[in-house]
């Protein structure tokens, strides 16, 4: 599919007449404005006749499904993977600032609650805000390719209390149970966990000793503060576990449950669904909301395999149309590393710069290059060494190449074309 825009940059209907596209480019009547997805712009006055295009959006925390359909065919299908490193990067920044202040300031008066941005109405956490912006970026991307006439988005709420009860085999909440949780009557979660475990170490059974609360799955690894993820241990057992000195039988008590999954994604959707909805209203297009049971019903009716872009096609109201022969996998990445110096100092206590130049050997970060007959993305660069090449699945080249063929530049949204095959997908 070749996407077309008029002389003023407004999107027109796409075409599969590749011979005509080649003639227009050869005669200078059109120019290439985007390679992925391939888009041309007409350089002469043309008609503005377009067909209604419905855009279906399968909103999600980890993946976003997109499908734009006319009455006759699916014109665009994609899946977008938002960033999930925001919280980790903020934690790393906090630690770096803390260590720097301890090195460079003997004493600084403690400051509490000196940030005012989080007090503004409608303010979102950085991790939630990033996901909301990724939804809007992906939708605007489709609107730049096709004359979208309406948007339908699936934004179903999640009952986290009921999900938690199902996981832990507890009674389903009802009525006022939503206001009376496990830790009701206790100062905090740690106090409840200590009471739950009988004020004794869950490993050695020691009582009347200093007790600590251990996260079975660390927060940096995706764990949560749910009581099911916390356990009471004494100081000695806690230190021995992290040092790897506990016997396997005792260490197993502190290991995370495999069947207890964090409900972070459900919480994300509950927070950001109305934020995304309000921002989509500003686009000025007809906006409709759908729900998961409607999508599941459409998928079963037409025998469609489960995938994010297939769900988006059902959400758009065109589940009866055959899928396009290809779809695009997109991944949102950070612009650059904002850390000025490396975290760990080298010999002599010298901290090397963590940032490379903007252009190295004619290449920028995230550029698409050709190596070994395959297209790669530049994900790392060295002034005197080779580049790090990756695809969107995380696969890297076996050897570090130094001579590459430039294909096209990229921003923070990396795109790969993938062919749709029966039972799955493959790279183009």
- Which class in CATH covers the domain with range 337-411? mainly beta
Higher pLDDT, 400 or 49: 49
Cβ(392)–Cβ(329) under 8 Å? yes
User: Using CA atoms, how far apart are residues 36 and 299, in angstroms rounded to an integer?
Assistant: 29
Q: What is the pLDDT of residue 119?
A: 65
pTM for this model (two decimals): 0.83
Every domain range in the chain assigned CATH 2.30.30: 337-411
Every domain range in the chain assigned CATH 3.30.420.10: 53-84+124-158+264-332
Distance of alpha carbon 71 from its chain centroid, rounded? 31
Reading the block at residue 425, the tokens are 């997908």
Q: What is the pLDDT of residue 258?
A: 56
Query: In whole numbers, what is the pLDDT of the chain averaged over residues?
Result: 86
For 211-220, the pLDDT digits (tens) are: 999 998 887 7
270 three-class SS: helix
Look at residue 116 and tell me whether its pLDDT is greater than 80: no
User: Using CA atoms, how far apart are residues 218 and 421, in angstroms rounded to an integer?
Assistant: 39
Look at residue 427 and tell me whether its pLDDT is greater than 60: no
**DSSP-assigned states of every residue in 141-203:** HHHHHS-EEEEEEE-----HHHHHHHHTT-PPP-GGGGGS-TTTTSSSHHHHHHHHTTTB-TT
53-84+124-158+264-332: CATH, from 2.10.10.100, 3.30.420.10, 3.30.565.10, 1.10.3470.10: 3.30.420.10
For 313-334, the pLDDT digits (tens) are: 999 999 999 998 899 999 999 8
Beta bridge partners, 368, equal 377, 408
**DSSP-assigned states of every residue in 348-374:** GGPPPB----S-BTTB-TT-EEEETTE
Q: What is the pLDDT of residue 428?
A: 47
Q: What is the pLDDT of residue 193?
A: 92
**Mean pLDDT within 137-153:** 95
């Amino acid at each position: 599919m070749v996407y077309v825009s008029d002389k003023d940059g407004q999107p027109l209907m796409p075409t599969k007449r590749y011979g005509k596209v080649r003639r227009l480019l050869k005669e200078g009547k059109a120019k290439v404005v985007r390679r992925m997805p391939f888009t041309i712009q007409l350089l002469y006055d043309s008609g503005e006749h377009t067909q209604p295009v419905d855009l279906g959006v399968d909103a999600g925390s980890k993946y976003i499904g997109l499908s734009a359909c006319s009455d006759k065919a699916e014109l665009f299908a994609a899946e977008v993977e938002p960033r999930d490193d925001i919280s980790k990067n903020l934690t790393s920044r906090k630690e770096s600032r803390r260590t720097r202040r301890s090195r460079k300031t003997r004493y600084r008066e403690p400051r509490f609650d000196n940030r005012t941005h989080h007090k503004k109405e409608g303010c979102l956490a950085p991790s939630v805000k990033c996901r909301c912006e990724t939804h809007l970026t992906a939708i605007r991307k489709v609107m730049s390719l096709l004359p979208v006439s309406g948007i339908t988005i699936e934004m179903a709420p999640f009952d986290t209390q009921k999900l938690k009860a199902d996981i832990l085999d507890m009674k389903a909440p009802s009525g006022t149970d939503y206001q009376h949780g496990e830790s009701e009557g206790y100062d905090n979660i740690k106090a409840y966990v200590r009471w739950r475990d009988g004020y004794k170490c869950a490993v050695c059974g020691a009582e009347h000793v200093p007790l600590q609360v251990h996260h079975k799955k660390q927060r940096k690894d995706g764990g949560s503060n749910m009581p099911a993820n916390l356990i009471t241990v004494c100081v000695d057992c806690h230190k021995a576990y992290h040092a790897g000195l506990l016997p396997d039988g005792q260490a197993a008590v502190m290991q995370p449950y495999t069947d207890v999954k964090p409900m972070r994604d459900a919480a994300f959707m509950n927070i950001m669904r109305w934020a995304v909805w309000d921002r989509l209203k500003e686009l000025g297009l007809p906006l409709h909301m759908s729900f998961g049971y409607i999508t599941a019903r459409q998928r079963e009716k037409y025998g469609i395999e489960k995938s994010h872009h297939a769900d988006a096609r059902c959400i758009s109201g065109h589940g009866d149309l055959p899928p396009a022969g290809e779809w695009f996998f997109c991944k949102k990445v950070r612009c650059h590393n904002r850390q000025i110096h490396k975290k760990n100092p080298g010999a002599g206590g010298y901290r090397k710069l963590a940032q490379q130049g903007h252009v190295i050997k004619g290449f920028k970060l995230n550029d698409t290059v050709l190596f070994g007959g395959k297209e790669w993305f530049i994900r790392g660069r060295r002034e005197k060494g080779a580049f790090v090449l990756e695809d969107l699945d995380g696969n890297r080249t076996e050897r570090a190449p130094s001579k590459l063929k430039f294909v096209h530049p990229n921003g923070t949204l990396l795109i790969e074309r993938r062919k749709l095959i029966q039972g799955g997908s493959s790279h183009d």
